[in-house]
Structure 1
Amino acid sequence: MSVGKRLYHYALLYKKTIIIALVMLTVSVAAELAGPFIAKKMIDDHIMGIEETWVQTDQGEDAVAYNETFYKREAYLNEGEQTGGEAGIFQIGLNFYFVDEPVTEAEGERSYKNGMLNFGTGEDAVSYSADELSTSEVLAFYRPEIPRMIQLVLLYFALTVVAAVFHFGQEFQLQRSANRIIQKMRTEVFGHIQRLPINYFDNLPAGKVVSRITNDTEAIRELYVQVLAQFFHSGIYITGIYVALFILDPTLAAICLVLIPLLILWMVIYRKYASKYNQTVRSKVSEINASINESIQGMTIIQAFRKEKKIQDEFEEKNTTHYQFQNKLLNLNSLMSHNLVAILRNITFVAFIWYFGSGALNAESVVTVGVLYAFVDYITRLFQPVTGIVNQLANLELALVAGERVFKLMDEEGETVADGKMDRIKGHVKFDDVSFAYKNDEYVLKNLSFEAKPGETIGLVGHTGSGKSSIMNLLFRFYDNQKGVISVDGMNIQEVPKQTIRDHMGIVLQDPYLFTGTIASNVSLNDPRITREQVEAALKAVGADRVLTHLEQGIDEPVIEKGSTLSSGQRQLISFARALAFNPAVLVLDEATSSIDTETESIIQEAMETLKSGRTTFIIAHRLSTIKNADQIIVLDRGEIVEKGTHDELMARRGKYYQMYELQQGKKAV
C-alpha cells in the first residue's frame, strides 16, 4: 500500500470530524464567494441602475420629484402606477443628464452639446433633448437606492461574519482531527518499537528512532493541519470560482480552465525533484539527532580524551549536507512557486483583456460594469488558492517522505505480545547442543550442553567474547538459537511466548538502567502487583537500605535520566532489588558486581545466600570470588565449554579456571 493511501486510511479513522470540517469549509467558501455577486448587484442594479427607464407616476414610495412631476424606476413600478410617458437619465463623466422622452438608441460614444445628448458619431449619431442635473437632483434620483444598498452592505457583512465563523470552525476541527491522528500514530509507532526484536536496535542509533517518532510524525501532522486544509480549501474555492465564472460568462470561464492542467503538470515536475531533496534532508535530520544523542551520552569521554574538535567536525559535515539540500529545496520553491503564479496570473489577465477587448464590448454583446468587476474580483481571488496549493507542495512532499520513513519502521516485523500467564516454573534450565550466531554462520556459541537444576547457582566465566552474555540473551529470548534446544522445566522456550517465559525471569545487568521517576518506581516499574511493602522488603533484602539511608526522601527520592545523581553501587543495588521484587524463578546476574565497590559488593554477597533459595541463579562474573560457592561453574572459551565443575574441582584440575583465578589473586596481592 502506498504512503498516500496509508495516510488516507489514518484520516478515515476520524472521518466524522473531517467531514464536519469540510462541510464548514464549504459554507465558509460559499459565503466568501457570494461577495462579488453582491457587489455586481449593487453596481448594476443600484449604482448603474439609475440609467434604466424611468416613468411618470403619482407621488409615493420610490417616486422622485423633478420639474413638478414624479418619476419612478420601471423596475420598482407596480401594476397601474404609470401615469405618463417614459424618461431616462444618462451619465457622461461625472455629469448626469435627464431626457424627458423614451430613448430607443443609447449605444456608442456619448456627448452633450447645446442642450442635446448625442449617442454615437457621424451619420449613425442619435440626439435627444436633455437637461443637466444638479448634484442635489442626482442625489434625489439615487435616494430610493440607498435603503437597498444598505441592505446589500449588511448582507455582505453578515456573509463575511459567517465565512469567518465557519472558517474558524473548520480549522479547529481539522486541527483536532490531525492531533488525534498523530496521537494515534505516535502511540502505534512507539508500541511497535516495544515489539521489535532486540537485534533491530543493534545497528540503528537511538537518535534515528527518536527522529521518526517525533520529527517525522510532526511533519505528517502538518500534512493534516496545513496541507490537507489548504488543498481542500483551495479545491472548494477554485470550484466555487469556476461555477461563478460560468454563470457570468461561460466562454471566459472555459479559457480559465487551462489553469488546471498547467497546475497539475507543475505539481508533477516539482515532486520529481522535491522528493529526492526531502529524502536527503529527512535522513540528515535523523543522523544529526543520532549524533547529538550520542555526544550528550558520551560527553564525559569526549571531553576526557579531548575529542571536541573531531566530534564538532563530524557534526558539521552532516549539518552542511543538510544545509545544502535545504538550499536546493529553497531554490526550487523560490523558482517555481511565486514565479509560476505570477506567470499564470499574467497569462489569465492577458486572455481576459483580449476577450473583452475583441468581442465582449460591442453593440451586439454588452457587458455591464458589475460583470466586469465580478470577473476581475473572481480572477484575482482565483490565484489565492493556486498560490496556497503551490506553497503547500513543499510541506506535502516533506510529509510523504516522513510518512514513508515512519511506515518503513512500522513495517518491520514485530513480535506478538502475549498476555497469557502460566504457573510459576521450577527453574530447571537445560541447554542441549545449542549453537548460535548473530550474523549468518559466524557462530559465537558452539554445541553447548549443560543443565541447571532448580535452586542451583551456575557461574559463567571466560574471557571477553567467550559467549557468556550470549547465553543469557538466548535464555531471555532476546535472540533465538539456530541449532539445539533450550528448555525450561522440559518446555522448549521457543514454543512458549516470550513475554510468558520472561514473566518468571529476572536480570541485573552490568550497567544498570534506571528510569526517570523515584527509587520506588524503579524497583516496582509501576507494576500494580508489587506493593510498596514489597519494594521496601526487596531493598532491605539486598542491603540497599544501608546505602540509601542518607537520601533525604528515602525510596521516594527522585531519579533523573539513567540515575546520574546516584553512585554506580546505588544504581546496581536498586537494579538488584528490582529483579528480586518480581520474585523470579530464574535470576541472572550479568557481571552485576563488576562496577561495585568492595563495601557494596560485600553487602550483596551477604544477601546472596538468602536470595538464591528457591530460584535458579546464573552469575556471569569477572570477579571469580563472587562465584566460589556456585553449585556449578562453566568455563567458556570462544563459544565452547572447556571446563565445568565446582570451584574446588576446577582448582584441582589446574586448568583454565585455575589460571584465571590465580591471575586475579596475584593482581590482588600486588
Structure 2
Amino acid sequence: MKTNVGRRLFQYALTAKGTFIAALIVLAIGVAAELAGPFIAKTMIDGHMLAIEKPYFETDSPKNAAVYQDHYYKRGDRFTADEPKGQEVRILQAGTKFVFVDNAVGVIDGERSFTDGTLTITRSGESAQYNAVQLSADELYAFYKPEMPGIYELIGLYLFFLVITIFTEFGKTYWLQSSANRVVQKLRLDIYAHIQRLPVYFFDNLPAGKVVSRITNDTEAVKELFVAVLANFTSGIITITGVYVALFLLDVRLGLISLFIVPMIFVWIVLYRKVATKYNTIIRSRLSEINAIINESIQGMSIIRVFRRQKQTEKEFETLNDDYMKHQNKMLNLNAFTSHNLVNVLRNLAFAVVLWYFGAGAIVGPSAVSLGVLYAFVDVLGRLFQPITGMVNQLASLDSSLVSAGRVFELMDEKGEAVTDGSMPRYKGNVEFKDVSFAYKKDYVLKNISFQAEQGQTVALVGHTGSGKSSIINLLFRFYDPQKGTITIDGQDVAQLPKQWIREHMGIVLQDPYLFTGTIASNVSLDNSSITRAQIEKALCDVGADKLLAHLPQGFDEPVIEKGSTLSAGQRQLISFARALAFDPAILILDEATANIDTETEALIQSALEVLKKGRTTFIIAHRLSTIRSADLILVLHRGEIVERGSHDELMAVGGRYFQMYQLQQGSAATANDASTASRQESAQELTPVTASRLAGGTA
C-alpha cells in the first residue's frame, strides 16, 4: 500500500527539521512583531491623541502638566493615588475646533456644536450647554505636549518591531530556502539511487525522457512546495492565528463575527483541489511526454533527416504541445477565477458584516468600542487578507507540487533490486543451464535450454533474429530470472547469489557500445579506482586500440562526448573491448562485438582475443559465422530451442541448420575452401548446392 504523499513529504522535511523549526520560530516572531503595529496605533490613538478629551484637573505640580492661562492642568489618569486634584476641566472637539470647558461635563457622546462661547451637546433629543473658550493652536499643543514623550516611545517601539520584522523576514526566507534545497537534494539523490536499483526491464517500457522529467521537473516542482507554498501557507496560518488572537484581544465580539472566514477558506481549498488535481495530473504527464519526444528526436535526428520526417515529427510535437497548452489554459482560467476573486469576496463580506455590526449601534451606548479599537480592528482585519491572498495564489503551486510529488513517489515505489554490500571471490566461470524456460510476458521465448560451458571455453550462440540468443545472456546477467529451470555458476544457483556479486566478475561488449562523457581512459576504467592507468593502457594495447587511436591529439586522454559520437564505430568498439578486458572478468560476453569493425581491424583483434579468452568463459553472440569457427561449443537456436550443438566442423558435417546458415553467408567459395576433396581450381560459382553440401560433409 502506497504511503500518503503528504506524510512522505513530511518525512523528507524532517531531514532538515532544525532549519525548518528555526524558520518557523523566526516566522512566528515576525508575525507577532508585525501585528504589534495596530496595537501600538490603538494605544497612540486611545491613550494619547483622543485621550485629550478625558477629564483634566488643576494641579500645583508642573510635572506632566499642561499650562493654560498660568494654571497647570493634568489628565485625571496621570495623578498618583495621594496627589490632590483641583477643579475638573475638559477639552472637547466640536467640528474642527477644540474648546476649553472650565467645569465638569456629564455626557460627551453626542452631536456637538460651538457658537458664541457656548458648547452644545445633543444626544437622544436632549441637549446640554456649557460655557467654553476656543483654544488656539499653541494652547491646544500645550495640552498635547505632555503626551509627546509617550508618543515618541510608541513610535520608537514601532520602529523597533519594524526592524525585527525585517530581520525575521530575512531569516525566514533564508532558512526556508536552504531547508527546501536540502530536502530536494535528498529527494533527487534518493530517486536517482533508486533508479540505479530498478531492474533493467523496467526501462524497456518507460521512455528515458519521462524518467528525466520525474528527476528534474517534478522534483523542482516539489522544491516550490517547500519554498513558496510552505512559506506562504505556514506564514499564512501563523499570521491568521495571530490576527484572530489580536481581534479577540481588541474585542471578543469583533473576533467572533470574523470567524466565518476560516471555514469558507477551507471549503474553497477542498473544492479547488478537486478540479485542479485533474488538470495538473494531465499537465505533468504531458510535460513528461514532451521531454520524451524531445529526447527521442535528438537521439534519432540523423534518421529523421535521412527519411525526411521533420514535418511529421514537428506535427506530433505540436499536437502534444497544444494539448499541454490547452490544460495549462484551463488551470489559468481556474486560478484567474478563484484567486483574487475569492479574496475580494471575503474581504468585502467581512467589512460588510463589520459595518452592519457597527451600524446596529455598537459605536454608541454601553457596548460601544473606542475609535482606537475600531482603527486597530480595521487594520488587523485588513492584514488578515494578506496571508489569505498569498495562500490562495499558491493553491496552483500546491496542487502541482503534490501531483509532482506523487509521480516521484510512484517511481520510487517501483520494486528495485536489493543492493548487497561486499563481494564474492572471483569464480572460475563454469556455467550450466538446466532445463531453463523463460517468457518476457506470456509466450516462452526460451524452452528447456540445457548446456554446459566449462572454464576457458568459448560458447557461441547463433540463430535467426528472435531465436533467443540475447535472452540467454539476459538470464546469465540476471536482468531477468527464468520461470523454470536453474542456472548455476561453479555449481552455485545464481538465484541464491546477490546480483551485484555475480556481475562483478562479468564483462560484456555490445554490438552498439555505449561511451560516457569523459575521456577514452575513463571510459575504459569507468572511474574504478582499482583499475590502474597501466591496466587501462595495457587493455587498450591488447585490443589494438593504440594503433587506431594514436592519431588523436591527446591519445588515451582524448575527450569523449556523449555516446562517443566523434569516434568511429570501430574505435568505439575497441574502447568497449578494452573496458571489458580491463575489469578482468571470469565470464566475457561478446554480443555481435565485431559486427561494426572492418575486416582489417577484426583481424587485428582476433589474435588478441584468442589470448585474452584463455582462462575465462566466453559467450559469443554472432551472426557472422566466420568469427566463431574456433568456438569450443556452438549452440544453434531456433524459436527458443537448441536445435543443434557442437563444434564448427561437427555442425558442418551434420549438414543441418548451421550448415545452411554458413553456406548462405559464405557462399559456394567458402564451402569449397572447407571441402578437402574439392578442387581448388573449381570456380565457386559453378558449384551446385548438392555438390557444395557433399563437399562440406566430406570435410567434416
Question: Given that residues 361 and 368 in structure 2 are in contact (C-alpha distance below 8 angstroms), is that contact kept between their aligned partners in structure 1?
Answer: no
Question: Given that residues 55 and 82 in structure 1 are in contact (C-alpha distance below 8 angstroms), is that contact kept between their aligned partners in structure 2?
Answer: no
1:342-361 equivalences under 5 Å are 342-361=344-363
1:307-346 equivalences under 5 Å are 307-346=309-348
Q: Does 1:197 align with 2:199?
A: yes
Q: Which residue pairs with 2:678 in the alignment?
A: none
Q: Does 1:652 align with 2:645?
A: no
1:34-49 equivalences under 5 Å are 34-49=36-51
Deviation at residue 167 of structure 1 after TM alignment: 1.9
Q: Which residue pairs with 2:231 in the alignment?
A: 229
Q: Which residue pairs with 2:209 in the alignment?
A: 207
Deviation at residue 65 of structure 1 after TM alignment: 1.7
Q: Structure 2 vs 1, CA of residues 346 and 123 (structure 1 numbering), >3 Å: closer, same or farther?
A: closer
Q: Structure 2 vs 1, CA of residues 569 and 404 (structure 1 numbering), >3 Å: closer, same or farther?
A: same
Separation (CA, whole Å) in 2 of partners of 1:447 and 1:647 = 23
In structure 2, which of residues 143, 159, 171 is the aligned counterpart of residue 157 of structure 1?
A: 159
Q: Structure 2 vs 1, CA of residues 512 and 667 (structure 1 numbering), >3 Å: closer, same or farther?
A: farther
Question: Given that residues 205 and 290 in structure 1 are in contact (C-alpha distance below 8 angstroms), is that contact kept between their aligned partners in structure 2?
Answer: yes
Question: Given that residues 58 and 81 in structure 1 are in contact (C-alpha distance below 8 angstroms), is that contact kept between their aligned partners in structure 2?
Answer: no
Separation (CA, whole Å) in 1 of partners of 2:586 and 2:236 = 64
Deviation at residue 207 of structure 1 after TM alignment: 0.7
In structure 2, which of residues 204, 207, 220 is the aligned counterpart of residue 218 of structure 1?
A: 220
Separation (CA, whole Å) in 2 of partners of 1:364 and 1:517 = 84
State the SS of the aligned residue for 2:185.
Answer: helix
Deviations 1:352-393 (A, max 9, x none): 101111121123233222111101101111111111111111
Q: Which residue pairs with 2:485 in the alignment?
A: 484
State the SS of the aligned residue for 1:143.
Answer: helix
Deviations 1:497-538 (A, max 9, x none): 111111111001111011111111111111111111111111
Separation (CA, whole Å) in 2 of partners of 1:123 and 1:323 = 68
Bigger shift: residues 11-20 or 218-227:
11-20
Bigger shift: residues 299-308 or 353-362:
353-362
1:129-140 equivalences under 5 Å are 129-140=131-142
Deviation at residue 63 of structure 1 after TM alignment: 2.0
State the SS of the aligned residue for 1:144.
Answer: helix
Q: Which residue pairs with 2:263 in the alignment?
A: 261
State the SS of the aligned residue for 1:14.
Answer: helix
1:13-32 equivalences under 5 Å are 13-32=15-34
Deviation at residue 82 of structure 1 after TM alignment: 4.1
Letter of the 1:260 partner, please give it.
V
Deviation at residue 154 of structure 1 after TM alignment: 1.4
* Number of aligned residues: 669
Per the normalisation by structure 1, the TM-score is 0.97
Deviations 1:246-298 (A, max 9, x none): 11111121111011111111111111111111111111111111111100100
Deviations 1:552-586 (A, max 9, x none): 11221111111111111111111111111110011
Structure 1 vs Structure 2: percent identity of aligned residues?
Answer: 60
Q: Which residue pairs with 2:606 in the alignment?
A: 605
In structure 1, which of residues 356, 360, 368 is the aligned counterpart of residue 370 of structure 2?
A: 368
Q: Which residue pairs with 2:692 in the alignment?
A: none
State the SS of the aligned residue for 2:394.
Answer: helix
Deviation at residue 79 of structure 1 after TM alignment: 4.7
Q: Structure 2 vs 1, CA of residues 467 and 651 (structure 1 numbering), >3 Å: closer, same or farther?
A: same
Deviation at residue 59 of structure 1 after TM alignment: 5.0
Question: Given that residues 505 and 586 in structure 1 are in contact (C-alpha distance below 8 angstroms), is that contact kept between their aligned partners in structure 2?
Answer: yes
Per the normalisation by structure 2, the TM-score is 0.93
Letter of the 2:476 partner, please give it.
L
Q: Which residue pairs with 1:632 in the alignment?
A: 633
Q: Which residue pairs with 1:278 in the alignment?
A: 280
Q: Which residue pairs with 1:387 in the alignment?
A: 389
Q: Which residue pairs with 1:548 in the alignment?
A: 549
Q: Which residue pairs with 1:302 in the alignment?
A: 304
Extract unaligned runs of 5+ from structure 1: none
Q: Which residue pairs with 2:524 in the alignment?
A: 523
Separation (CA, whole Å) in 2 of partners of 1:448 and 1:367 = 93
Letter of the 1:471 partner, please give it.
I
Separation (CA, whole Å) in 2 of partners of 1:121 and 1:353 = 22
In structure 2, which of residues 144, 147, 159 is the aligned counterpart of residue 145 of structure 1?
A: 147
Deviations 1:109-159 (A, max 9, x none): 000012011111686211111110111111222122222212111111110
Deviation at residue 327 of structure 1 after TM alignment: 1.0
Separation (CA, whole Å) in 1 of partners of 2:633 and 2:86 = 127
Separation (CA, whole Å) in 1 of partners of 2:509 and 2:388 = 61
State the SS of the aligned residue for 1:13.
Answer: helix
Structural RMSD (CA): 1.6
Extract unaligned runs of 5+ from structure 2: 670-683, 686-700
Q: Which residue pairs with 1:576 in the alignment?
A: 577
Q: Which residue pairs with 2:697 in the alignment?
A: none
Separation (CA, whole Å) in 2 of partners of 1:53 and 1:562 = 91
Letter of the 1:593 partner, please give it.
T
Question: Given that residues 95 and 113 in structure 2 are in contact (C-alpha distance below 8 angstroms), is that contact kept between their aligned partners in structure 1?
Answer: no
Q: Which residue pairs with 1:77 in the alignment?
A: 79
Deviation at residue 632 of structure 1 after TM alignment: 1.5
Deviations 1:592-645 (A, max 9, x none): 111122222222212111111111111111111211111111111111112211
Question: Given that residues 56 and 82 in structure 1 are in contact (C-alpha distance below 8 angstroms), is that contact kept between their aligned partners in structure 2?
Answer: no
Q: Which residue pairs with 1:590 in the alignment?
A: 591
> Runs ≥4 in structure 1, deviation > 6 angstroms?
667-670
Q: Does 1:99 align with 2:105?
A: no
Q: Does 1:618 align with 2:619?
A: yes
